[in-house]
A and B are shown apart, each in its own frame.
Chain A
Amino acid sequence: MKKRIINLTVNNRPGVLNRITNLFSKRNYNIESITVGHSEQEGVSRITCVVNVDNDRIIEQITKQLNKQIDVLKVTDITDQAIVARELALVKVLATPSIRSEIYSLIEPFRASIIDVGKDSLVIQITGDPDKIDAFIELVRPYGIKELARTGTTAFLRGTQRLPSQAKNISIL
């Protein structure tokens, strides 16, 4: 299974997200995460999908099927390019006052922050690429995770590509 990151820009119309998620279930594609939000253009939303695929033929099909949607303006598989990819996670960890400082010391190298302190728990906010978040979660797991919420990856291309000619734009041929 390979993980691919697909970036879409879509018309911000009612039912668009339904059409996209529907397509994934209809075509039996395995979706790991999907994030949606406004883009820099009015009326246009940006969607980042992370999908797991067995082979290149499936990713080609996914991008083609997405491209076919009337409200989809552009589809790019950005996995192999220079990208910035970030995810945010909120982690509520069991933390009695006696071990708070121990947890503070874990947080610092990850540049995470504490955004809520309760009687016996802390809420930690962490952003970064998904691997970093995975690592952090494993690290705090022994303390007891009461709640966990992850946003899924959102990503786009960096300003400079090492080899712009290799940018793999999948659009209608």
Chain B
Amino acid sequence: MLHETAFTSGNTKAESKPMSGAELLLRALIEENVEVIFGYPGGAVLPLYDEIYDADIAHVLPRHEQGGIHAAEGYARITGKPGVVIVTSGPGATNIVTGLTDAMMDSLPLVVFTGQVATNVIGTDAFQEADIMGITTPITKYNYQVRNIEDIPRIVKEAFYIAQSGRPGPVLIDLPKNIVTGKAQVSEDVEIHLPGYQPTTKPNYLQIRKLTEAVSRAKKPVILAGAGILHAKATEELKQYAEMQRIPVVHTLLGLGGFPADHELFVGMAGMHGCYAANMALNEADLLINIGARFDDRLTGNLDKFAPNAIVAHVDIDPAEIGKNVPTKIPVVADAKEALKELIAQKGEQPQTEEWLATIQTWKRDYPYTYEDDGSLLKPQKVIEMLYEKTNGEAIVVTDVGQHQMWAAQYYKFKNPHRWVTSGGLGTMGFGLPASIGASIADRDATVLCITGDGSFQMCSQELAVVKELNLPVKIIILNNTALGMVRQWQELFYEKRYSHSKIPVQPSFEKLAEAYGIQGYTVSDAEEADRVLTEALSHREPVLIDFRIDPEENVFPMVAPGKGLSEMAGVKKR
């Protein structure tokens, strides 16, 4: 073997005995306090799996590698700790590409190990070889291919550090088979060496002063709180600061839960399907304080019409996000928590915002999310409202992508942080069910609502097997409109109702599908039944699947159509 000769040939003078790459790897994972691995074995990782057989780390076997990485994302979203994934080379590795991209877009910490063919055959198109370094370079925060066995402890340590520090993200480690099987003697001390990576966490004092002064002068300030608040675990500081300065708070989709939805200063979610009050608050604001959001296009709408009257301040740990989409007057490169602590410590003069807050209250009162319900067909919004009431707003809510995702974001009011798991930036259908598994493993006590659609659910439904195997309290809520609802909605609104391949009337019986996996299934088509079934489903800790046959014509409103500004919402109705 390539590496055995160099390090182990007759060398017996050191105390520590040579260890295999697999042993070193497992030891490094234990060192990082890894509780659970989401992994799928295969040829190139067989030696690693032989080591896992005896290891004291839980292992979850998804039924598809994509399910494994989405589960790791769900775990990371709830715990803030890196989700750990192990897959084999070739197809195992390429099957996690979507999950890596999703984690990259939504800044989720992951450490992903991929098997690789032995170093002496890399580049020969060997069986199950894929250039995963090349493939994943643009979709990882960093990636490594281990070339020397003795580098394993350092690389793993660096990977965990990179994944969860600064702006979190996925890190991939590619493990050639001979590296895993080969042995080496390594020293106990492991030091990371990353001279080019020093994230700025403490804010610049002058910028904080500038922001404090701008706040004290503002008449209509608004805080736009993104997921950065959650990554930094800064929800307490956000609340304290907003209360101290009497500034209303608007959330991005991914930021939900960062500020309690029942708080008087909470305005709502902004963006394409955000509420009237939140979008109008951004539109009318004279000072926009973005903390940990990246001005995504689904949030801003037409950039030329975005926050036309506002001085923009932007707090972000990633300097590249500042000024990327929206010109920024006051840039603050910092961790959200550190920045908020500094802002609080400034004890700046409180701006006169009572009039502004009253205006926002009027918007909130007059233009809430609404839907029409004549009682004939089951309304999806009604289902979410019931879920909210029956779980006291305290469940973990995981969604897939599409109409159901927007309804969940609109009608489930998050009181607490780290209860909301959704694929924002990439918009990955198939994310929901596996992410629910990861979320449930991350918080074993919580009830997990997997709110999904009939389209999304069928993209990863094989993971029902894992839900059953681990008997997780995951309540799968399918809002079934026999269509790819959001596609159908856009075709209705923008393509003259030409429903090109968006309707899926032929479907399996989801109830029977659940039963085939040994999970209790239900089919529900009216509100009364919904109430009864939900009460029953939420009364125990077993997994259930409920197929809600909702109004197939229901659309998500309000809506900022593509190319429109936030103040040009369609479907706004005055109460």
Contacts and interface: CB of A to CB of B under 8 A. Distances in A.
A60 interface: yes
Given A14-B145, A18-B137, A70-B142, A172 B333 contact: yes
B408 interface: no
B442 to A, nearest CB: 27
A64 interface: yes
Interface string A57-73: 10011001101111111
Contacts, number: 53
A173 B134 contact: no
B162 interface: yes
A146 interface: no
Contacts of A113: none
Contacts of B198: 172
Interface string A32-62: 0000000000000000000000000100110
Interface in B121-137: 133-134, 137
Contacts of B324: 61
Given A26-B138, A69-B196, A173 B133 contact: no
- Residue from B138, B141, B204 whose CB has the most chain A CB atoms within 10 Å: B138
A61 B320 contact: yes
Name the interface size band of chain B: 20 to 34
A173 B137 contact: no
Interface string B1-36: 000000000000000000000000000000000000
A15 B133 contact: yes
B320 A173 contact: no
A68 B320 contact: yes
B9 to A, nearest CB: 26
B290 interface: no
A172 B319 contact: yes
Interface in A1-15: 10-11, 14-15
Interface in A123-173: 172-173
Interface residues of A, number: 23
A70 B319 contact: no
Contacts of B571: none
Contact of B319 (A10, A23, A67, A73): A67
B133 A71 contact: no
Contacts of B137: 15, 18-19, 22
Given A70-B194, A72-B196, A65 B141 contact: no
Given A15-B143, A18-B134, A65 B196 contact: no
A26 B138 CA distance: 7
Contacts of A26: 138
B52 to A, nearest CB: 27
Contacts of A72: 196
- Residue from A11, A64, A65 whose CB has the most chain B CB atoms within 10 Å: A64
Contacts of B319: 64, 67-68, 172-173
21 contacts: A10-B196, A11-B195, A15-B133, A15-B143, A18-B133, A19-B137, A57-B327, A60-B323, A61-B320, A61-B324, A64-B319, A68-B318, A68-B320, A70-B141, A70-B142, A70-B197, A71-B196, A72-B196, A172-B198, A172-B199, A172-B200
Closest 6 CB pairs of A and B: A64-B320, A173-B333, A73-B196, A70-B197, A70-B142, A26-B138
